[in-house]
Amino acid sequence: MKWLWIVIIMSLSGCASPVYPIKYSRDEPKVLKPTYTKMIPEPKNGKVIVAVYSFADKTGQRKDSGMVAKLSSAVTQGAESILIKSLQEVGDRHWFRVVERVGLDNLLKERQLIRSSREEVKDDSELRPIIYAGMLIEGSIVAYDTNVKTGGMGARWLGVGPSTQYQEDLVTVSIRAISVQTGEILMTINAQKSVLSVATNVSTFKFLEQGTANLEAEVGVTSNEPGLYCLQRAIETAVEEMVYEGKKLGVWDFK
């Protein structure tokens, strides 16, 4: 029984092996899977000013349910907040200055209120101009695939034994950098991250009273990887790779 448990644990631990970037051709956007965070050099000419307007959910995917149809989306509808944070923090906050565009209407209204208030009190001081961005960062969550991979294993000895089942979903994001001066798409990066769910249970089945009665019991636990964390890792991977791809294409240079 001891050796059976060791074999099962070793088999399950294999599911947690690291993933690596997928090879790609020069004619297609690269598709990456998150690995360990890279040590990114600082930019040569200072921070790059970028703007993020939106990062929409274009999957059309709803939360998975085997019983009823759910109206809730499978992925967050506020992914632009994750993208903005990833841009600010990449390379130890040395790479990008992100200007506000998601709530631009509110920003312009507030500036107009300040101007009106200063006119009333005859304040001649002027507001500093809004910083414009030389690059737009666009993109979306392009796919959320459920049940990409399912499986499990189990074993029983005299009616007693454990079993494990797992399910893998896949979230895919796409990010592109656009030149404000020319409207040219400078680069496009795709990234993927798996969402894992694992269920483990132990059950027993025994006959009692000379086979005239039976006892059946089961206990288990299910662990689901947070979808928001997986989406964050996919976006962070795409942003990190965008920095290196920009270096290759001559968009910027390292210090």
Helical residues (DSSP H) of 14-103, grouped into ranges: 79-93
pLDDT, tens digit (0-9, with 9 covering 90-100), for 171-207: 899 999 999 999 999 999 999 888 888 888 888 877 7
**Could you tell me if residue 216 is inside a domain?**
yes
- Residue 6 has which token pair? 């060791």
SS3 60: coil
**Could you tell me if residue 3 is inside a domain?**
no
Q: pTM for this one? A: 0.73
Residues 6+ apart with CB under 8 A from 128: none
* Parallel, antiparallel or unpaired: strands 185-208 and 30-32: parallel
pLDDT at 58: 79
**Could you tell me if residue 119 is inside a domain?**
yes
**Could you tell me if residue 232 is inside a domain?**
yes
Containing structural domain, residue 187: 21-249
**Could you tell me if residue 6 is inside a domain?**
no
Distance CA 241, CA 176 (A): 11
Domain count, the chain: 1
DSSP 24: -
CATH number at residue 110: 3.40.50.10610
pLDDT, tens digit (0-9, with 9 covering 90-100), for 29-82: 556 666 555 688 888 888 999 999 988 887 777 776 655 556 667 777 888 888
Over range 213-233, report the average pLDDT.
83
Task: Give the dihedral of Cα atoms 158, 159, 161, 167; nearest 10 deg.
Answer: 140
**Could you tell me if residue 147 is inside a domain?**
yes
Split at pLDDT 50, 70, 90, the class of 138 is: very high
The tally of CA atoms less than 13 A away on the side-chain side of residue 125 is 6
